[in-house]
Amino acid sequence: MVSPVLYQSRSRSDPFEAAADAGVLRVMSDSRTPVFLTVHARGRRRYGYWQPYDHIADRGGCYVALPTPVCDRLYSQGRITLGDPLVDPGKTTYRVWPANDPVAPVRIPVAPLPAVAAAQTLAA
């Protein structure tokens, strides 16, 4: 029998989780497919979007549900945000957006040139 200790993953994240996260984020990032979260009165949550009908591929024209555990994980990690709620008697609907993570631009420090070297560079 093989010991499970010898074959533990070296990475802390599961590669299948990373692939699922990337797929869901790709759908949410597409401006043509607005994704919504519907929270029903009894607490059931469903993430999904409307897939328009494609007459060339002869498919679509249906509501597509996204995996709730994956979306919940992305929300708990702060990778997606929810818009303003639209409240109905039996449900509340939120627009789902990918989170904006503004990253400061990386600047490479450059040693300043002495004034003489700068003048020689400009003269050349």
pLDDT digits (tens, 9 = 90+) for 46-96: 999 988 888 888 877 888 999 999 999 888 888 888 999 999 999 999 999
For residues 75 and 97, is the Cβ–Cβ distance under 8 A? no
Contact assessment for residue 17 and residue 30, using Cβ atoms and an 8 Å cutoff: no
**Taking a C-beta distance cutoff of 8 angstroms, is the pair 20, 66 a contact?**
no
Token duo for residue 51? 């897939």
Binned at pLDDT 50, 70 and 90, residue 11 comes out as very low
Average pLDDT estimate for 31-47: 91
Tell me if 74 sits within 8 A of 24, measured CB to CB.
Answer: yes
| pLDDT band of 2, cuts 50, 70, 90 | very low
- pTM, whole model, 2 decimals? 0.64
